[in-house]
Amino acid sequence: MIFYLDPQHFIDTSAPIDLSMGLSATSDNPRAWYVDAPRMEPVRVNGFVGSVAEGGAVNFRDVFFNPHGHGTHTESYGHISKEIYPVSAALKNYFFKATLISVVPRVLENGDRVVFADQLENLLNSQHTEAILIRTLPNNIEKLSLNYSGTNPCYFDVEVVQLLDQLEVKHFLVDTPSVDREEDAGVLAFHHAFWKVPEAPVADRTISELIFVPSEVADGPYILELQVAHFINDAAPSRPLLYAINEKKD
């Protein structure tokens, strides 16, 4: 389906670019925060078995996973607040002007890999900053199956938030397990600065982590569709989709 953004520009909704990681009950499923692999188990009760392969009428499985640790997910400020604020309440709209940028993290003396604000500011299109998506380089396919636990993955300097505030960014999407350092004694500086918690929580801002942007997808402006499962929880599995912005040819 063709959807016109204005008389000269359109998107083709039949050609989305999927940035999510699928959830599978295998050791190849990406993991972070020391969680075990997801589990999907047939329900067995009163002689019923939820597996067609085992003679059941239907497949009917319990799924055990952690939104934060098992792949692409989106968070609300409820992730770091005392009160429960579900991510499902943070989104009223699902389509946003977006900019995708790629960046090589800087390596600090202690070995940390960090993305800084000055690496991003010249790459952003001020007309497409409702959402910003970051692809860290190198962009290895192994990202889809890594166990990030204990590896001190790339993270973002807290001063990046000042840039996001200036651009009025609502949704920040990254291909790392967290915007903050894996071990920071619970400070979570980026999370707190982004959501202004506890002083003045911003209810309509989200962070999505563990996206995966295929290498063949070019940097630049897009339309983002942010699909998020309706969990009454601070985080939920999500499926960010990008749509290329096409120019009408006369």
Predicted local distance difference test score (pLDDT) of residue 125: 65
Q: What digits encode the pLDDT tens for the residues 123-132?
A: 886 677 899 9
Q: Which domains can be identified in the chain, with CATH numbers?
A: 2-22+67-247 (3.50.30.50)
Query: Residue 77 and residue 232: Cα distance in Å, rounded?
Result: 13
Residue 203: CB atoms within 10 Å: 12
Question: Per-residue confidence at 122, pLDDT binned at 50, 70, 90?
Answer: confident
pTM over 0.85: yes
- pLDDT above 90 coverage of the chain, percent: 90
